[in-house]
Amino acid sequence: MSKIFVNGVKIILVLLNFFLLSAFILLFNQNFKFDLSHFFEAFPQFIKQLMHIDTVTFKTPGSYIEHPFLSFIIRPWRNSMLILFLSIMLGTILSILCVVIAKRFKLIDYIMKRFVKILGYLPDIFYIPCVIIFIIFFYQQTDILIMEVASYGEQEAIVFPAIMLSVIPFVQLYKILDQVITEELDKDYVVLARAKGLNDFEILRKHVLSNVWITFYINFKQVVWMTLSSLLIMEVILGYFGATQFLYYYHAPIMLMTILVLMFVPIYIALFIIQKLVEFRTGVKL
């Protein structure tokens, strides 16, 4: 019961932080100057919008047509969450597979460490245009479009931005796994397992990996938030109109509050499920 209470308090505090962050914008007027009187005028309206969010509308730039915010934001929010979760899943799976393979062969281990190090140094603005140029060049030569690199009309480009964003979790998780596995391989129980005739791959699969899940999960949470913070940059670079880029153009407190909550809830649920799986696998309460 106490743990449920603690988790409930954490959620309330997070929502309160979102509320305070959204209300903080009201301290500045339309000219981005500190204006306390503007806050006292706009804050009651903000509260009213929270209570009747289904009636909130907005206008796109250069248009006089009002759109219902709540129904409009569902599609970009859904697409942003798809890109985020696909990128994290892809980066996680690839990092685990690559580490397991690399630890079997010293040459591959050496190459992967250098490759991940270089990849970690490259900014998004460098490798994304290179991949786009390659896809266009390949299409011109073969008439085969590997994947859509931009959204247009009803056609949503999900796979390409997810792959590009997966570089961040892949690099970070590979470094973490490589470090903790290397430390585990130097421990006494590994020496004993080798003495019993087990090869390194069997030791890695049966013993080492089961001992790194807690460290992996603790760092995985940080990687998730790091990837989320890079989602805006990815959407801006690709001109992809997702939920985070929506905030880039519309700064209304009610919109900020709504999108933050919509993005926090599924991430929190996913992390909670992963935590329970790690606890079940390791028998350790986190």
Structure tokens at 128: 């994304």
CA pair distance 277, 242, nearest whole angstrom: 30
Neighbours of 80 (CB within 10 A): 27
- What's the start-to-end Cα distance of the chain, in Å? 15
CA pair distance 13, 18, nearest whole angstrom: 9
Superfamily of domain 74-250 in CATH is MetI-like (1.10.3720.10)
CA pair distance 162, 84, nearest whole angstrom: 7
Number of DSSP helices (H) and strands (E) in the chain, helices first: 12, 2
**What's the pLDDT tens digit per position in 207-251?**
677 777 888 888 888 899 889 888 877 887 777 778 887 877 777
Locus of tokens 């009803």: 154
CA pair distance 233, 165, nearest whole angstrom: 10
What beta strand segments (E) does the chain contain?
Answer: 57-59, 66-68
**What's the pLDDT tens digit per position in 252-265?**
888 888 888 998 88
For the chain (length 286 residues), average pLDDT per consecutive 10?
Answer: 71 86 81 78 86 82 76 87 93 90 86 88 78 84 79 73 90 89 76 70 70 83 88 78 80 86 89 85 72
